[in-house]
A and B are shown apart, each in its own frame.
Chain A
Amino acid sequence: MLKRTLLGVSLASLMAASAWGAEVKIGFVTTLTTPAAVIGKDMQDAVNLAVEHMGGKMGDLDINVIFEDDGFKPEIGKQKTDKLVKQDDVTFVTGFIWSHVLLASRKSALDGGKFLISSNAGPSQLAGKLCHENFFSTSWQNDQTPMAMGEVLNQQGVNSIYVMAPNYAAGKNMVAGVKRTFKGEIKGTDFTKWGKDAQLDFSAELAKAKASGAEGIFVFYPGKAGGAFIKQYQQQGLQGKVPLYSVFTVDAIALPKLQAAKFEGVLGSRMTQFWDPTLDNPQNKKFVDGFKAKYGKYPSFYAAQSYDTMYLIKSAVEAVNGDLSNMDGMRAAMKKANFPSVRGEFTYGNNHMPVQNFYLREVVKDGDGTWTTKVVKTVFENHQDVYAKDCPMK
């Protein structure tokens, strides 16, 4: 009797699972420990906000996001991706701040027959030769943003720059990007140690930059290195003498800290980016206002890309009416980029990298005195990355 009851209960619960518990599983690999956790937290916040804005549902399916911490290490990122693919059997593996982590995890996700969506990293390999039908990006290819900055430098008549970036996949792409469009002279290039024990004291490099006589310094220092760099740039007395041109260095994560410490020098500094909190479209307004209301701060571009990732997935799930076995249908839907994006309308290239605008932004005080950014002008319209031609997909 007891046995039969138990059987009945378990059968009933099984049926319940298929009838009401249907869900879409999304694995989100980001950095939740180490100081880079501050980036991962911003992405996590944005994903949770997106789930809230969707009412916890994509079509009829419940949203189940499983967050995993890559510890800022490629090998751990790969392990976590394996776990998401094999153990959790998710349909979408996404997140990925770091290019080297994404490159290490790529095979696990794609060979496992899952969709891989980058919410930040854009290494050249994945845009070119290693492009894949199941790989999409809601960010950019690494080279694009510095290419826009190189163009800005040309327009401003800067004749020579000194280049500094961390020594990893994205750092090399960023430097390659600015060198591709900048027509002046590169006085010197420094790649600094990166990873969990990244170099944060740039005294030697800044002294070299100053001695080189370059007219400007171009840097890429994401995360906490950005704030540290800006402070030292100021302490070395370079401000006003050798202007700073940066990408992904001064962001909504560094600015509140710099404001708290009153580093006024960062006001007015300029960078290029595909998005800005002031972009005028309904989705961006909903996102920025919602984020500020819920978390009391401006979202970073990492957050914007993560929010977009969730809406991209939603568009795919709804296009196939929740039939997650229909990979072709979901792929075709994502390829259309038919979802409200915080950056406004954009299209996907043959390599599934966004073809989108890039803007020049400036650090300003908003109406409440909070430090943030605004758009100065559009640098590139509908810009496609240069690696797309190496991608065999049509």
Chain B
Amino acid sequence: MSNFTEVPTFEGPQCPLPLTHAERIVLGHGSGGRMTHDLIRTVFRAYLGNPYLNAGNDFARLPLPLQGQEVGHLAVSTDTHVISPLFFPGGDIGRLAVCGTVNDISMSGAIPLYLTAGFVLEEGLSLEVLERIVRSMQSAAEEAGVTLVAGDTKVVEKGKGDGVFINTTGIGWIPPDRSPLGGERAQPGDVVLLSGPIGDHGIAVLSARGELGFEAEVQSDVAPLNHLIQALLQAAPHTHVLRDPTRGGLATTLNEIAQQSQVAIRIDEATIPIRPVVRAACEMLGLDPLYIANEGKVVAIVPPGEAEAALAAMRQAPYGAESVRIGYVENQPTGRVILRTILGTHHILDILSGEMLPRIC
């Protein structure tokens, strides 16, 4: 069954009821998968919806209230960071809070400029720990070239927080000559690029938590990607989509894009880089690296004519040395991601339903 059109597809209407967890929030609502999407659709968008929010990107692309001159657009994004443990191989919550928002802003094609930070601190947190986190934020901000311009602090009673929660909001500038980017802009024929090995962050955090039952020698990939993105956009100015495969991993990100753009995305399993240690950890726990979080990777969907230049530029840029081409965009079946397995067979790569749970045996 090598013919693409013969790939089995499942096209059933999605019944909105009964939702098992319609009454209370469960952890699966925060997984970045289908439950998160449903929550956004049924609660947040239902009440707060507007064209900017409804675009469904990690950033909002906003017009400036100025007329008669070409000034470009604003890009705004916000992200709240909760992670246990606060420090993990390759990073910490501070670096994560800065990079996460810098990256979300960068996915609009904007040059990130300013950040704000809101801290929720738990009573009893050691000041030394807080200082380490803030120092790390400073160094990540410096690396990204952004300035932290406003902040806020709240303290909650012991037991009502997990040490530190950090919210960061970022503002960036999209130059007027830049063509708009967004998850809805992928087109048949486009090439799908990935900036390096997947799964490092998720496995590094699991390992730091002691949840693997063994220690995996792997560092989180948490990094600011704005310099890589600027280099990529210079080489491939007509890039259609940029998105960082964070929660829910590469599979979820590709599904989001396929659905937003109403296209099919076909990827080749053999081309997706995964470090042996990440693969081994996933094998042992029954996890799928395609669904594991990354914090320093980008998926770029570019027109075929600019793909080679884009790839070359990415490989030259910081955090992009291991960039690869992993697939392409097609017309049909719309909204679907199809994986060509290492055996040459094909299957649908679905979006994660809720929390990813380790297998029994």
The answer on A and B forming one complex is no
Chain B positions near chain A (C-beta within 8 angstroms):
none
Chain A positions near chain B (C-beta within 8 angstroms):
none
